[in-house]
Structure 1
Amino acid sequence: MTDQPKLSKYWMLTDDFTQNPYPVLDRVRAEGPVTKLSIPGGGHAWVVTRYEDAKAALADPRLSRDIHVHYDLVSRQTGVALTPPPEHANHLANLEPPRHTPLRRAISAAFTPRRADALRPRIEEVADELLDKLAGQPRPDLISGYADPLPVIVIATLMGVPGSAWPDFLRWSLALRETDPTDPAAERTVKELSAYMAALIEDKEREPGDDLISALIHAEPDRRLTSVEILSTAFALMTGGNDTTASLIGGTLAALLTHPEERAELLAEPGRWGARMDEMVRFVGPITNTLQRATVEPVEIGGVTIPAGETVIISAISTNRDPAQFTECPHALKLDRPKPAHLSFGHGIHFCSGAHLAKLMTEVAARRLFLRFPDVKLAVDPSRLRYVQSMVVRPLESLPVVW
């Protein structure tokens, strides 16, 4: 057997990995339970790649998601005192108990699957309106014209944002995705979005509607959030929620364009979409890594002890194709897979509150596209599709098709 070349110390940050991470992840996962990754500019992180180790790590309180712990860690590493902005520091994805607990209770009460399901007719309308705009184009891009704007409009609708502001929300969402957080342009975008959301919250305090922001403001006293917590929650939905769902929609459309038999099966049995979406999420892998953790005390993972004060990255796309968990053809799309229990939406107290809505939007987007344009085909060879480099989501740069 020929020895494999040594991995780059920046192995997860290379373009080769971005475009096709699975051969590298198969190798890394087989070689050990955790692997070090060097960070440009200094420092390193520990990457967890095996399913069972990752699932345990996601539920381990010694691996903290508290944003203040992360900022303290970076401050010590760089020698520069850093403070998390309020837009990021007050929502449940970036906090641990005890602050996380009442936030989770409030969000769970307001952001229910029933509220998401009630949006189905509106999601279908939005999908059809976007497809109307694309229908006359000879070679439309399903990312910029469909996968990107659909979740922005739907989540804005969920929060009670009027249609006149949707173009701004799409611009803000794309700007935050494409700019480095330290770039002054990103700071300006954050200020613009925060100012708009603060004004919207004030409007909903005076005149509540049937929307998520109003539900959070006017909840029962024990489930009521402060204005800054609502602002931070809305900010998380308009950034992380949009990016994750856009990545899932684009990846699902690409998968179904290249798997005609599975597409035909889904279209023939529309009632089975919901049951099969978890296998689609597992196969597509819209999340590269879950949000980073920081060790608050030494933690043993797979027999390897990670010291306190270290950054831990959990590779969702690796765990979702771990042959120890998915024993039958882990790299294949199998809609009848018995237990596609992926980790793309996390696990434990930080399981994504918007997972149901993300899957619902993806199902509707795919069904409306293929029912309306049953002969749609990729305009390029699948090997020419490219992914955007990101440590969290894995979106396609474009998805050109012909009708």
Structure 2
Amino acid sequence: MSRHWWLALQVARRLWFRATLYAVIAAITAVLGIALGRFIPDSLSDVIGTKAVDAILTIIASSMLTVTTFSLSTLVSATSAAATSGTPRAISLLLQDRTAQSALSTFLGAFLFSLVGLIALNTGLYGGGGRVVLFAVTLAVVALIVVMLLRWIDHLAGLGQVSETIRRVADATEPPLTALAGRPYLGAVGWATPPDTATAVLADDAGFIRHLDIARLQAMAEALDLTFYVRVRPGDYCWLGQPIAYVDAPKGLGEPDEDNLGEIKQVFTIGPQRSYDQDPLFGLTVLSEIASRALSPGINDPGTANDVTVQAARLMTRLGQAFVERRRLEIEGAEEAADFKRVHLMPITTTELMEAAYLPIARDGAGMIEVVTTMLQALYGLTQVGDAELADCARRMGETVTARAREGLPHDMDRERLDAILEKLSGPELHPLR
């Protein structure tokens, strides 16, 4: 995805964007009745009644503003609850919730529609035919409000709950994680050491890499006969003046060099917060943060940590399956070639993914045998997916979990249970653990 489309997508996800869009459509719809009214016979207005539309619009106008304010307060309370019980890094996902945005936008749009309609009615802009059109549209708006209220009430049952927060983070993590198997370098080629003649591109700001426009780099490389060596990936932190890329230009960068280097820097979107879109490590890190908070002494909720462990195992299983499919295509010679062959990019290793998902839980849950049990089962399951690299990382993480558990479990009985679990998982026959 290009940088411009990515920025447009970030705007479209904002709460105000959909609300503004609905409000504009509602205002246009109310005014459109004036233009369409002349095609409707005025005699039909006698059937409806001259005051019917006024009464309905007055009710909508007086109630929808209150409903909108209440719904917005509910959303704020839900995000606060998610930040308290989960992690503040998940708030952006709740604010991007489509159902919540649609509900708020529908209520605000209905309020503005009724307000514009009342203004037009009281100023005499609607004739008899216009009132008929406005009445028909008003009935459609009432039906839309009822449907959205029912959806919103059902949606409120889970909004802000920690289980819902975990699900949303997992859903946001899965696309970039599974895409990592098919396009491990975002469509570019693997890292190679840049030549000594390559020019360093220095970061002009401090922060996280939020987005990387590889296609734009490839276009510049083809136009100017360049080769790029990108040292950072989305999610990496960079400091002011850090070399974030090197560019090899056999024919020179042209004049002036600063302009070309400035254009290259625009490919790297740097900001104070990480983004889920191209950064699977961020999603796994947020999941582990939720588990760590649940395992803190003040909350002491090992069940939530187990839920996170299972969700992370599900995501890593999908990744392992994608790895197996990619290697099958490599053997058959059907693997797709890199789209951006003039761009070299640092990889994300399976070890980094495994540590982001499980290392904090292994540290904070080492003293709880129920958390250790779930982690060992999940890690054992990852060794059975069929990918050798993933299996090796899971075994090493299992050794880490075991070592921390032996030090952290406070009672001999728990350590005996740990030995029993390890024996079952390493025996010739795996028995279901309860």
Same fold (TM over 0.5): no
TM class, shorter-chain normalised?
Answer: under 0.3
More helix by share: 2
Q: Determine which structure has more spread, i.e. the larger CA radius of gyration.
A: 2
TM-score, length-scaled by structure 1: 0.25
Q: Which has the higher contact order (CA 8 A, sep 6+)?
A: 1
